[in-house]
């Protein structure tokens, strides 16, 4: 079996299975966890609206803190948007999703997708260097965070190199890209990257919690 056969075959199968097992385990485990009963008097009865509002308001930094976290916040948006454009609007990726989901969607001209991919990679590398050199960031960054950065950066690097036919033979580079994505799949449920599946519910929960307390936050 060649590296590419492994990457497109058992590697893909098992990484998807592990990711799904891990995500279902975590999400359902969290949902069925015990919620502490709130014995205080509810100050509002429109908790749903509070929850939904929080989803929107938490997309921007709190006005009091904004100037402190401005850089991290906006570069975060840039690379997240760039990353999703690369993953979701590149036609060979859309073909991958279509084979699993059964439906696809229109994409961008392939040679244009290189732009968001390159920008995302540049921003991520810069943010990683910042994490390693900034005195405060260094103190609060753990192995978990570095591993997430390295894995995502490797998917972008291998993808761009395969696209440009740079480096090793194309089949090898493509296999490396597949494998880096499979590592990402496996890593997602067991790391902070799982926030991609929790962020909506998290914000909603905070929103209802504060709404019940009568706090507009």
Q: Smallest gap, in angstroms, from Cβ of residue 35 to another protein?
A: 9
Sole binder of another protein in the list 34, 41, 67, 142 (CB under 8 A): 34
Sole binder of another protein in the list 40, 60, 103, 111 (CB under 8 A): 111
Q: How far apart are CA 98 and CA 217, in angstroms?
A: 40
Among the candidate windows 44-52, 136-144, 150-158, 168-176, which touches another protein by CB under 8 A?
Answer: 168-176
The DSSP output letter for 41 is P
Sole binder of another protein in the list 79, 178, 204, 210 (CB under 8 A): 178
By CB under 8 A, tell whether 173 contacts another protein.
no
Distances (CA, A) of 133 to 50, 73, 140: 39, 18, 12
- Give Rg (Cα) of the chain: 20
Among the candidate windows 28-36, 126-134, 148-156, 199-207, which touches another protein by CB under 8 A?
Answer: 28-36
Q: How far apart are CA 9 and CA 30, in angstroms?
A: 32
**DSSP string covering 155-196:** HHHHHHHHHTT-SS-HHHHHHHHHHHHHHHHHHGGGSGGGHH
What is the distance between the terminal CA atoms of the chain, rounded to a whole angstrom? 56
Cβ proximity to another protein, 91 vs 145, nearer residue: 91
Q: How many residues bind another protein (CB under 8 A)?
A: 45
Binding site for another protein (CB under 8 A): 2, 4-5, 7-9, 12-13, 16-18, 20-29, 31-34, 91-93, 95-96, 98-100, 107-113, 165, 170-171, 174, 178
């Amino acid at each position: 079996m060649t590296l590419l056969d492994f990457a497109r075959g058992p590697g893909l199968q098992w990484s998807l299975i592990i990711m799904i097992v891990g995500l279902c385990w975590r999400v359902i485990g969290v949902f069925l966890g015990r919620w502490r009963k709130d014995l205080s008097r509810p100050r509002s009865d429109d908790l749903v609206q509070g929850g939904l509002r929080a989803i929107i308001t938490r997309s921007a930094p709190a006005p009091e803190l904004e100037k402190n976290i401005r850089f991290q916040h906006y570069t975060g948006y840039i690379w997240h948007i760039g990353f999703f454009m690369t993953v979701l609007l590149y036609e060979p990726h859309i073909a991958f999703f279509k084979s699993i989901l059964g439906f696809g969607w229109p994409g961008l001209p392939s040679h244009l997708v290189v732009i968001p991919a390159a920008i995302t990679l540049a921003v991520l590398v810069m943010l990683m260097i910042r994490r390693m050199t900034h005195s405060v960031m260094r103190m609060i960054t753990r192995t978990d965070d570095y591993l997430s950065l390295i894995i995502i950066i490797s998917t972008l690097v291998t993808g761009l190199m395969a696209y440009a036919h740079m480096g090793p033979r194309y089949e090898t580079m493509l296999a490396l890209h597949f494998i880096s994505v499979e590592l990402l799949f496996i890593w997602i449920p067991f790391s902070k990257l799982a926030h991609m599946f929790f962020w909506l519910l998290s914000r909603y929960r905070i929103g209802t919690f504060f709404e019940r307390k009568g706090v507009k936050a």
